[in-house]
Amino acid sequence: MKSTYLLSIVRFKRVIKKFGCDILHAHSASSYGLLGSLVNFHPYVISVWGNDVYNFPQKSSFYSNLIKYNFKRCDLILSTSKIMAKETSKYSPKGIIVTPFGIDIEKF
């Protein structure tokens, strides 16, 4: 975890207010996820990308609890695969929406 994220909270809150944001979307459950959690803006979405749920929580119980905290604070969790959603569910009881990469060639 980088301390610069924590030092950016006040500035980040100002940016959100200035632009009149409708939604906050963190593209990582770890570092950006923590920043989003501490800003306390809703609706708040976290997208998991792999390292943040496969490796980061394995470093220590502190990191595992940090991921759980971030998921508890968010309104929605997104994953790009079913297997990553399954891994994510180890850290949150919330439902996880799977939005896979690619296109359905039967539809398009």
Query: 64 and 57 in contact (C-beta within 8 Å)?
Result: yes
Please state, in angstroms and rounded to a whole number, the distance separating the CA atoms of residues 95 and 88: 10
- How many CA within 13 A on the CB side of residue 26? 31
Mean pLDDT calculated for residue range 25-51? 95
CATH class held by domain 3-98: alpha beta
Domain limits of the chain?
3-98
Q: How far apart are CA 57 and CA 62, in angstroms?
A: 8
Is residue 108 scored above 90 in pLDDT? no
Tens of pLDDT, residues 2-12: 677 677 888 89
